[in-house]
Amino acid sequence: MVSIAGSKKLKRQMAPQFWGIARKDKRFVITVKPGPHKKDLAIPSAVFLRDTLKIVASLREAKASIYAGKVKIDGVVRKSLHHSIGLMDVVELENVPEIYRLVPTEGKLLKPIKINESEKSKKLVRVVTKTTIGKGKNQTGFHDGRSTLAEVKASIGDTCVMQVPDQKILEVIKLEAGCQGLVTRGINAGQIGKIESVEEGTFILPRRVILILGDKKIEIPADIIMPVGKGEPVIQIN
């Protein structure tokens, strides 16, 4: 019988570098199943425990921990080896004091950083869709697959500070001049700079942001910039 959800494994040579796996080992590695994040922008939970954090020694130990409900992602227990962990997700492990948030850093797409316990219920989510549904209600969609019908005064490209797991919007950070922006992908991933201006897209060019990084100024697509605060990031991201 054919699986409708795709293959559960991936050749190691094809796995993203930010997973942190050994290349010259077994031929296949477990992969990400359809979920909140895109396949090439996420780490499967079993790989995260074994290869990224190196908190377990084998896939067997990772299975035991995950199936026992010892892994929480954004405050919710996840029991799938293939669950995708992506940008700004908060990971808690039972009997482990450290709490991790995945952020871009040092040119890497995703890297876990340790955060304070007081911040584990806060998450930055980027607005990616705004849709009008029945009875004049608006649905707001975020980069991590979440959506809400609550009235959110945010446009596509803005960032919301969300309380997880109940998805309460605490604050909206606009994508505008003067704001601090985090580069989420590309060779500048993880760098934070001041947004000088936001250039609207044309028929040929996408919407762009002029970003000041130290003593240089770059122009990059707006969809890889996440506004994180006015003077400094509103939560710990480095």
Q: What is the pLDDT of residue 108?
A: 85
CATH number for the domain formed by residue range(s) 9-117: 3.10.290.10
The fourth-level CATH superfamily of domain 122-173 is: Ribosomal protein S4, central domain (2.40.50.740)
Q: What is the pLDDT of residue 3?
A: 54
Q: Choose among 173, 180, 175: nearest CA to 212.
A: 180
Q: What is the pLDDT of residue 17?
A: 81
9-117 and 122-173: same fold? no
Q: What is the pLDDT of residue 5?
A: 58
Q: What is the pLDDT of residue 134?
A: 79
Phi, psi dihedral angles at 97 (to 5 degrees):
-70, -30
Residue 13, exposed/middle/buried by CB under 10 A (0-12, 13-18, 19+)? exposed
pTM of the model: 0.90
The sign one gets for the Cα dihedral 88, 125, 172, 197 is positive
Beta bridge partners of 132: 138
- Binned average pLDDT, 10 residues per bin, the chain of 238 residues: 63 80 78 87 93 92 96 95 95 94 90 94 96 86 93 94 94 95 93 94 89 92 94 90
Domain limits of the chain? 9-117, 122-173, 180-229
Q: What is the pLDDT of residue 76?
A: 95
Q: What is the pLDDT of residue 135?
A: 79
Rounded Cα gap, residues 182 and 188, in angstroms: 9
